[in-house]
A and B are shown apart, each in its own frame.
Chain A
Amino acid sequence: QSVLTQPPSVSGAPGQRVTISCTGSSYNIGAGYAVHWYQQVPGTGPKLLIYANDNRPLGVPDRFSGSKSGTSASLAISGLQAEDEADYYCQSYDSSLSGSVFGGGTKLTVL
């Protein structure tokens, strides 16, 4: 059971928009700690996709966007492409655990 809750899977057709939710608590997201998102293609290390809730590192397409409200955060991917098929993880800091926490991961399938 992960501290941050994500849906196990989402899917969409090429060109569509999908969102992935990440629900936490008053000890992490709700306490104002930043939420970061990572993309992981199976067999490779994760890649930072969104940092500090809604910021994109250099090189990440603007099709990827993040938001945060209350105890939850969301990752939106618009204009779905085949290469977006991967696992996505949210991550934040948890004050009750004094450490990082990750969501359980969401597998994105591009139909």
Chain B
Amino acid sequence: EVQLLESGGGLVQPGGSLRVFCAASGFTFSSHAMTWVRQAPGKGLEWVSGISTGGDTTYYADSVKGRFTISRDNSRNTLFLQMNSLRAEDTAVYYCATGQDGFWRYDSWGQGTLVTVSS
């Protein structure tokens, strides 16, 4: 069974940095592209970033480009999202997700980790 477990969320001040993690199990992590999707409180889903199986190809939403960096460690079955220059509008639950068909379909999701940007 595919399991995705996010962690690392918390309270951070505007302009600060935070790194969130996604521990994967139950599937061959190194064979699947991975994705971060976020959801602001009471709002809809927003795609944030995606990374290829080997980590050499990455995609970012315009809203986070230049501030967020996605990466992965296939030896540890772990996905990362480094978030810098955080803004109040980055406050959200961050979900990691993966799928059977490349970057753009999400068969499995984690339970999410909450990031709150506030002074």
Contacts and interface: CB of A to CB of B under 8 A. Distances in A.
Contacts of A32: none
Contacts of A52: 101, 105
Given A99-B61, A105-B45, A46 B95 contact: yes
B3 to A, nearest CB: 11
A57 B97 CA distance: 16
Interface stretch (B23-31, B73-81, B107-115): B107-115
Interface in A36-53: 36, 38, 40, 44-48, 51-52
Contact of B109 (A47, A57, A103, A105): A47
A97 B45 contact: no
Nearest to B35: A100
Nearest to B96: A45
| Contact count band on A | 20 to 34
A45 B44 contact: no
Contacts of A51: 101, 105, 107
A33 interface: yes
Contact of A100 (B103, B107, B111, B112): B103
B111 A89 contact: no
B106 A38 contact: yes
B59 A34 contact: no
A88 to B, nearest CB: 11
A97 B61 CA distance: 8
Interface in A69-111: 87, 89, 91-93, 97-105
Contact of B59 (A44, A46, A91, A99): A99
Nearest to A100: B47
Contact of B107 (A33, A40, A57, A105): A57
B50 to A, nearest CB: 7
Interface of A: 2, 33-34, 36, 38, 40, 44-48, 51-52, 57, 87, 89, 91-93, 97-105
9 contacts: A45-B110, A47-B109, A48-B108, A51-B101, A91-B45, A98-B59, A99-B61, A100-B35, A100-B103
The 3 closest A-B pairs by CB, nearest first: A100-B47, A45-B109, A105-B44
